[in-house]
Amino acid sequence: MMRKTKLISLLAVFSALAGPLSAAADVYVVANAGVNLSGGEVRDVFVGEKQLAGAVKLVPVDNASAHAEFLSKVVKLDAGKYEALWTKKSFREGLNAPAAKGGDAEVLAVVKSTPGAVGYLSAPPPAGVKLIQKF
């Protein structure tokens, strides 16, 4: 009986720990203050279909720490298909894939300092950047 109680306790602990890990994380799409963009246009920016917002040239920036979640929720492609898409765009249209940054801090630095920059974060953005949409 004692063994069964320990097993149930261990299972409860593991399921409690696994719960937050398996929960989907939010992704916050942000842009430089001068960018006017809707949430519906974000996918097009990151697949190279939208390159201008008014007169502003868009500069998409990938975030390695939130990349899989962003691709799943926003772009609706897995990493392999996303890379293949950009390989084709590079050869056919001469476009470059979004620059990849290591995490939220690097993406924020680029978005704040680069006119037309659009990126995504794994945490709510601080002041100084425009929140386009939370996915």
The span from the CA of 5 to the CA of 23, in Å, is 27
Task: Please list the pLDDT of the chain residue by residue as tens digits (135 residues).
Answer: 444 434 334 334 334 444 444 456 999 999 999 999 999 999 999 999 999 999 999 999 999 999 999 999 999 999 999 999 999 999 999 999 999 999 999 999 999 999 999 999 999 999 889 999 999
Residue pair 35/117 in contact by the 8 Å Cβ criterion? yes
Q: Where are the domains positioned within the chain? A: 25-134
Q: Among all chains, which residue has been given the structure tokens 């050869």?
A: 91
pLDDT at 23: 55
Q: Which one, of 11, 121, 117, lies nearest residue 56 by Cα?
A: 117
pTM value? 0.81
Phi, psi of 27 (to 5 degrees): -125, 130
Does CATH place domain 25-134 in 3.10.20.440? no
Angle at 80 (CA atoms; ends 74, 47), nearest 5 degrees:
45
Rounded to whole angstroms, the Cα distance separating 77 from 89 reads: 15
Alpha helices in 23-118 (DSSP H): 42-46, 67-70, 79-93, 104-113
Q: How far apart are CA 33 and CA 25, in angstroms?
A: 25
Give the SS3 label for residue 36.
coil
| CB distance 68 to 75 below 8 Å | no
Rounded to whole angstroms, how far apart are CA atoms 124 and 49? Answer: 26
DSSP state at residue 98: P
